[in-house]
Structure 1
Amino acid sequence: MPTHARIDYAEFGSRDPAASQAFFETVFGWSFTAYGPDYLAFDAASAGLDGGFFRADSASSTASGGALVVLFSERLEETQRRVEAAGGRIVRPIFAFPGGRRFHFIEPGGNELAVWTDRDPA
């Protein structure tokens, strides 16, 4: 598959890259490689896309016009519980939209993401 002009890498500012790493390892099973104390890379094999977290004073949210990264889950309610248990803050509880259901959360480094499913609730 050609890669020219396709999204290849995504970077997130994080107020606490180590906390972001611990959260995504715990909740989603992502793997990381540290490149010094202020940069952590994740890989496509575990996250679906290569990318990383860099230390920053601010993070991404939809309220400030940031892009919303949306993850997929086969078990949405379970994923929401895991997000909360690992220190994520739910900012939009599960809601329906045409094609599925989703929720939005803030991870410990300050970034807003969402998780969606096309599966009916169990």
Structure 2
Amino acid sequence: MSIRGRDRQIDNIEFNVGDIARSKAFYGEVFGWSFVDYGPSYSEFSDGRLTGGFTSGEPVRPGGPLVILYADDLERTQRRLEAAGAVISRQTFAFPGGRRFHFIDPDGYELAVWTADDAQA
């Protein structure tokens, strides 16, 4: 799968949920979403156009899902965010298929940026 051409675009939305099975049942029944499980604490969803995920690995946060952007060059994007005044709220960490970090924008919203393992700067 090639993800080139998505640099600095919204790529994913992640919901921290209390019960992944309950969330899958709810969104599957109401909206017809399909799911792919990646272990006990993460399930990817697809609505046919956009993918996202349900995770139980972190606490449920009021205020909505986590919006995740894609970057070809994760480090350069982090430097640009910091120069623009963003606060890094979670340092870069690896996960199967890539790496990501979280940041807080000037209005207090937390977002994340990820890159694939094979991304070229």
TM-score, scaled to structure 2: 0.47
Give the structure with the larger helix fraction. Answer: 1
Relative to the length of structure 1, the TM-score reads 0.46
